[in-house]
């Protein structure tokens, strides 16, 4: 059974005692933590699943779904963008055997509140006259989006159509409600395998075991 089929039921106990719906978007410690986790604490995919979600400081995707250490890779970035996470997804699938991707976006996401132009102008205003800063920020697509539902569908479509995502991968798209702690599935599909790809998959699994 794909892991995503149990997400809603496992989320019920978390949501029943959830009381953090009023936390503000900015992290209280004004802190960003970036790390390469040591083997003892890395979320290694023994059940072949990979979770991808937003970097919201008030959200803990694994705990919301009853996922324990050692059961999934959790990849996070601003907006939960699949495009931004592709590098990590390829590594997770090709080298560590994940075969399921669950995309999580959330209500009240900050990425709904601005555009590329807004963030670029802000960065430039904080470094007036600095051509290097202006040139660097203009090269970045911040992957903002105007519609939450569509952003989930767009990410699933991107993963479905991207040749670097393995065929046979289970894909599901979810929205997490920051006010209630509940999750709801918006899309679920499986990338079909050809006969040749199925044989190659069996060989890959044998090499990883």
pLDDT in tens, 25-76: 554 544 434 333 333 222 333 334 555 555 554 455 566 677 766 777 888 8
DSSP secondary-structure letter at 208?
A: H
More confident residue, 138 or 170: 138
- Domains present along the chain, CATH in parentheses: 3-111+146-208 (3.40.1050.10)
Rounded-to-integer distance, Cα 67 and Cα 55, Å: 17
DSSP secondary-structure letter at 166?
A: P
Quick one: tokens of 37? Answer: 């986790």
Q: Of all helices (H) and strands (E), which one includes residue 14?
A: helix 7-16
Instruction: Give the rounded percent of residues in the chain with a pLDDT score beyond 90.
Output: 32
Is position 54 annotated in a ligand binding site? yes
Give 200's pLDDT tier (boundaries 50, 70, 90).
Answer: very low
pLDDT in tens, 70-121: 777 888 888 889 999 999 899 888 888 888 888 888 898 999 999 999 999 9
Is position 106 annotated in a ligand binding site? yes
Q: Is pLDDT above 70 for 156?
A: yes
Rounded-to-integer distance, Cα 3 and Cα 124, Å: 44
């Amino acid at each position: 059974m794909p892991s995503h089929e149990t997400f809603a039921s496992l989320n019920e106990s978390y949501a029943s005692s959830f009381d953090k719906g009023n936390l503000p978007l900015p992290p209280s410690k004004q802190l960003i933590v970036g790390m390469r986790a040591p083997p003892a604490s890395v979320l290694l995919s023994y059940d072949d699943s990979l979770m991808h979600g937003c970097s919201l400081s008030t959200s803990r995707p694994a705990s919301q779904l009853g996922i324990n250490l050692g059961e999934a890779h959790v990849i996070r970035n601003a907006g939960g963008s699949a495009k931004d996470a592709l590098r990590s997804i390829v590594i997770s699938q090709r080298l560590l055997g994940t075969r399921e991707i669950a995309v999580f976006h959330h209500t009240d996401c900050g990425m709904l509140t601005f555009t590329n132009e807004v963030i670029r102008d802000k960065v430039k205003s904080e470094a007036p006259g600095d051509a290097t800063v202006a040139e660097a920020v203009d090269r970045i697509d911040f992957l903002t989006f105007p519609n939450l539902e569509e952003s989930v569908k767009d990410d699933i479509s991107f993963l479905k159509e991207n040749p670097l995502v393995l065929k046979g991968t289970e894909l599901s798209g979810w929205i997490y409600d920051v006010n209630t702690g509940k999750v709801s599935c918006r899309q679920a599909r499986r990338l079909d395998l050809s006969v040749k790809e199925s044989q190659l998959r069996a060989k890959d699994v044998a090499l990883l075991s």
